[in-house]
Amino acid sequence: MDHLNSLRLLVRVIERASFTAAAADLGLPRSTATEAVRRLEARLGARLLDRTTRHVAPTLDGQAFYERCVAILADIEDAEGALRAAEPHGLLRVDAPGLLTRTFLLPALPAFLDRFPRIDIQFGQSDRLVDLVREGVDCAIRVGEPSDSGLVMKRLGTLEESTLASPSYLKRHGIPRSLDDLDGHRMVGFISSRTGEAMPLEFMVDGKVCEVTLPWRVSANHSDTSAALACLGFGLIQAPLYRFADDLVAGRLVEVLPNHRPRPSPVSALYPQKRQLAPRLRVFIDWLTAVFDRPSG
């Protein structure tokens, strides 16, 4: 393995905290990866990694060398891209909620891949904010206001939100025509991963946000389960309209209080600071912006 590829391998080992995962990412046998790092350490005369049977972590020297390597490799990738008529290439690992991926990204994906034939994409599906560096992810797409995670955030657009309930629920509790009518109603509790508490419902009244917390008997911390609970009549739910397009058409859910919808939810791309110059990531972010550059909802 040449010196440059050894540096790429070391970066991946540190980011993935695993020789096995790094070797798999780069299509190498694990034995080749371990031998390449051993030779790199011998050449530098320094121990770069602390190894145990279950964990790999950089030493102080290894962390300093890693940070220099990341910057150098980014510069090399930019230089190569310029000489290759700026044709981005390589594997992009993207993490995004499954339904959002299927609704917005996949229909437009063939055109992107046709335009950039040397880019490959691997989709992961999650509602949580994954550790992008540790898990080897280049970019995450999230709905809502991300917490201060130390990542670079690119706002892509917004999604119209709505308040919904099943016909069976509304038959039992009545259709609320105003916020005053919410007395006696229930909600499907959606548990926040940040606070561990059920999130309040949100309504816009005269341009201001009004939060209402209703009683709930059943809660969940995943959007798919919450949607199923709403369809079964366990209470009111709030979510982006696209999430329930099929349920609205089929009559499984009905929108209520349409004049007091929640604020539209922002959609953002998040990526590590040290990878922001990768040409394949740059063109992917530009494409995402175009995908979500449409009217809300």
CATH code assigned at 10: 1.10.10.10
Q: Could you tell me if 247 and 270 lie in one domain?
A: no
**Please, which pLDDT band fits residue 294 given cuts at 50, 70 and 90?**
low
Q: For position 46, what pLDDT does the model report? A: 92
Q: For position 85, what pLDDT does the model report? A: 56
Q: Has residue 127 been placed in a domain?
A: yes
Rounded Cα distance, 8 and 194, in Å: 35
Q: Which residue pairs, CB below 8 angstroms and at least 24 apart, start in 245-254?
A: 247/164, 248/164, 251/167, 252/166, 252/167, 253/164, 253/165, 253/166, 254/164, 254/165, 254/166, 254/167, 254/170, 254/175
Q: Has residue 273 been placed in a domain?
A: yes
Question: How many distinct structural domains can be found in the chain?
Answer: 3
Of the residues 62, 83, 104, the one at which a domain ends: 83
Q: For position 276, what pLDDT does the model report? A: 47
Tokens 């690119």, residue?
Answer: 154
Q: Could you tell me if 206 and 250 lie in one domain?
A: yes
**Please, which pLDDT band fits residue 296 given cuts at 50, 70 and 90?**
very low
Which range among 72-76, 109-113, 158-162 shows the weakest confidence by mean pLDDT? 72-76
Helix (H/G/I), strand (E/B), else coil: 104 = helix
Q: Has residue 296 been placed in a domain?
A: no
Q: Could you tell me if 138 and 175 lie in one domain?
A: no
Q: Could you tell me if 276 and 143 lie in one domain?
A: yes
Q: Has residue 279 been placed in a domain?
A: yes
| Predicted confidence (pLDDT) per residue in 82-109, tens digit | 665 567 888 888 999 888 999 999 999 9
**Please, which pLDDT band fits residue 131 given cuts at 50, 70 and 90?**
low
Q: Has residue 131 been placed in a domain?
A: yes
CATH number (domain holding residue 226): 3.40.190.10
Q: Could you tell me if 272 and 257 lie in one domain?
A: no
Specify the length of the chain in residues.
Answer: 297
Of the residues 83, 111, 138, the one at which a domain ends: 83
Q: Could you tell me if 285 and 230 lie in one domain?
A: no
Of the residues 83, 99, 120, the one at which a domain ends: 83
Q: Has residue 51 been placed in a domain?
A: yes
Q: Could you tell me if 224 and 143 lie in one domain?
A: no
Q: Has residue 297 been placed in a domain?
A: no
Which range among 122-126, 144-148, 257-261 shows the weakest confidence by mean pLDDT? 144-148
**Please, which pLDDT band fits residue 147 given cuts at 50, 70 and 90?**
low
Q: Could you tell me if 74 and 118 lie in one domain?
A: no
**Please, which pLDDT band fits residue 1 given cuts at 50, 70 and 90?**
confident
Q: What average pLDDT does the structure give for the chain?
A: 87
Q: For position 40, what pLDDT does the model report? A: 92
| Predicted confidence (pLDDT) per residue in 43-61, tens digit | 999 999 998 777 889 999 9
Domain range spanning residue 175? 161-263
Helix (H/G/I), strand (E/B), else coil: 72 = helix
**Please, which pLDDT band fits residue 205 given cuts at 50, 70 and 90?**
very high
The arithmetic mean of pLDDT across residues 160-187, rounded, is 95
| Bridge partners (DSSP) listed for residue 212 | 201
